[in-house]
Amino acid sequence: MERISGLGFKEAFFLMKSEGFVSLKNIEGRCVFHDGEKCTIYSSRPSGCRLYPVIFDVESNRPILDKMCPFSEEFSFSFKILNELSGLYHRLIDERKANV
């Protein structure tokens, strides 16, 4: 949030809160910062975007490759990515507890 706010964007423009979690807003099925071709804040994108298409599947309680990503087959899990995702997941859970 701080990194994106530092670019001059107001939090009300790009953030939404749901069930104690804070996430980027989507407009017509895509991130508010995606112009239809590319991410307009790519070098300042959030951690979750940097890890994509690796996502945490709550139902199976494990990381998976997002099937909706047309390039997911080009990626694989590495220990580094799994560690980063685990750290992000725990930060989000702590943030949710603080916001509920």
User: Do 63 and 96 share a domain, yes or no?
Assistant: yes
Could you tell me the pTM of the whole model? 0.70
User: Do 52 and 96 share a domain, yes or no?
Assistant: yes
User: Do 92 and 52 share a domain, yes or no?
Assistant: yes
Q: Which two tokens stand for residue 61?
A: 């309680």
The series of mean pLDDT values per 10 residues for the chain, 100 residues long, is 91 87 86 93 90 83 83 81 81 74
CA distances from 13 to 10, 23, 24, 33, 43 (A): 5, 12, 9, 10, 19
User: Do 54 and 100 share a domain, yes or no?
Assistant: yes
User: Do 83 and 64 share a domain, yes or no?
Assistant: yes
User: Do 39 and 51 share a domain, yes or no?
Assistant: no
User: Do 26 and 58 share a domain, yes or no?
Assistant: no
Residue closest to 65 by CA, chosen among 56, 39, 98, 7: 56
Quote the pLDDT of residue 51.
84
User: Do 60 and 100 share a domain, yes or no?
Assistant: yes
User: Do 66 and 27 share a domain, yes or no?
Assistant: no
Could you count the other beta carbons within 10 Å of the beta carbon of residue 41?
19
Domain that holds residue 39: 1-44
Cα(82)–Cα(24) distance, rounded to whole angstroms? 22
SS3 17: strand
